[in-house]
Structure formats: structure tokens, C-alpha cells
Amino acid sequence: MPLEIVTVPCLSDNYAYLVKGPDGVCLIDAPEAAPIQAALEARGWGLDTILITHHHHDHVGGVEALRNRYGCEVMGPAAEADKLPPLDMALKDGDRGGEGEALTVAIAVPGHTLGHLAYHFPNAGPEGGAVFTADSLMALGCGRVFEGTMEMMWQSLSRLAALPPETMVYSGHEYTMGNARFALTIDGTNSALISRCEEVVAKRAKGEPTVPVSLAEELATNPFLRAADPEIRARLGMQSSSDAEVFAEIRQRKDRF
Ligand code: ZN
Ligand code: FE
């Protein structure tokens, strides 16, 4: 049985995700309680576990209300435990839980915050795994580098980029339209990017989420993963720079965009 994954829009542009497997129901991030509770009730589901990606309020604001209602276990990055609601289990890179389809592996992806974790379900379904990336790798983008260094964020994105290409990427925000506009300024001759941007516009016009998307598609279109691309380097005049330096330039341009 593949995992059942439900996308729950929260706040103005956040996504939380419910993951139902043989061991129960797990929630990735809790921006606010009400829409998550509604999604659980609509399916007659309880809630067993909350996995927190990082300490920002728009990812943890609903944790206590959900814990009080469902008595679920709360897990999150040990490195940010002092900034998080009390954790029942503190996680670090490489920690794993569950088995079979529900196998979950924590991947440290520092940069946006120093303790940010992504959660990888390598056996999520017959087509491949799923990874919940919150504010690290995002659809056509990546999170702002607040606490870490550009080099650190580049290493984090590189780890995610090395997962199997069929992995489906579930990020924490619906920022894809703005990301698409920016991506075209960096990589505007990339035909895969141009057609993806058209799909993004069509989906948003219908009010549909633009996540998840396969890692293969991100690798072909997300400028933050394409620092090695010769055309992008030429356009930036950075042919002799390191990939991390090219990434840093792209990230800084996005900050000003
Ligand atoms: Zn954040
Ligand atoms: Fe966020």
C-alpha cells in the first residue's frame, strides 16, 4: 500500500502535509491547527506524529493545539529544540523511524535556519519516494538564507538534488508563481523552464497547488539547482566561479527581485 499524502493549505501561502501509512498518520509541519484538524476530521483520521522541519512560527504555530487535541508525539530538529514547542523526540541528520512504506529519514538541510530538517520517505510509493523540504528546496526556488551561509545552503540543496530523480518534492509554501518569474530572469532560454512556467500559471489560475513536483523536473528547471549550467554561468559572467558562488549570486539576486 503506498502512502496517502494530503496537501493542506494553511495561513496565506503555507502547506502542511498529512501522510497516512500502515503505522498511522503523520503531519509534516503545523502552520495552524484549524485547517489540519478539518482535513483529519473529513477523513475520519486521528493524528499520531508531528514532524517539524524548522522553528519559524509559520511551521509550528499549530503544534500545541494539535498535541492537546490528539495527544500526538511531536518530533523536530534537536539543533533547534530550544526554539521549538517541547519535543517528545529530538531528531538529527540520518535518524530514521517507521518501516516499509512509512520508513522516514531525517536529512539535515541547514541554511534557511541552522537546524532545518527535510523528511525523506524513500519507499512512499511504487513510483518512488517523497521528500518534505519546507523552506529548503522549494518548487522553482529555495528558502532565504537567514541563519546559515550560502555555502551551507548550497550543500543542503546538493544533498537533496542527489536523491533519486523520481522523488516527489513537497515544499512548505506556494511561492511558485513568484519563483517562476524570477527563474525566467536567470534561465529564460530553458525550454523546460518556459513550459513549466506556463503550467504554473494555468494551475494557479484554477487555484490548484503547484506542489508536489518530481526532483527530475526541479533539476531541469530550478535555477537554484542549476549553478553548474554553462548557459546560466555565461549569462552571469561567472564561468570560472565555483557552483556555490554561482548559487550565492542567484540567491542574492532573488533577495533583491
Ligand atoms: Zn521558514
Ligand atoms: Fe516558511
Model confidence pLDDT, tens digit, residues 156-177: 999 999 999 999 999 999 999 9
CA–centroid distance, 144 to ligand 2, in Å, is: 9
- Share of residues in the chain with pLDDT > 90 (%): 97
Average pLDDT over residues 127-136: 96
pLDDT at 219 > cutoff 90 = yes
Of the listed ligands, the closest to the CA of 171 is 2
pLDDT at 118 > cutoff 90 = yes
Q: What is the mean pLDDT of the chain?
A: 97
CA–centroid distance, 16 to ligand 1, in Å, is: 13
Identify the pLDDT of residue 136: 98
**C-beta contacts of 11-14 below 8 A and 24+ residues apart:** 11/58, 11/61, 13/173, 13/174, 13/175, 14/58, 14/59, 14/172, 14/173, 14/174
Identify the pLDDT of residue 116: 98
Of the listed ligands, the closest to the CA of 174 is 2
Cα distance between residue 117 and residue 108, in whole Å: 5
Of the listed ligands, the closest to the CA of 112 is 1
End-to-end CA distance of the chain: 44
CA–centroid distance, 127 to ligand 1, in Å, is: 29
Identify the pLDDT of residue 49: 98
Report if pTM > 0.85: yes
pLDDT at 249 > cutoff 90 = yes
Identify the pLDDT of residue 44: 98
Average pLDDT over residues 5-29: 97
pLDDT at 78 > cutoff 90 = yes
pLDDT at 147 > cutoff 90 = yes
Identify the pLDDT of residue 1: 81
CA–centroid distance, 135 to ligand 2, in Å, is: 6
Identify the pLDDT of residue 23: 84
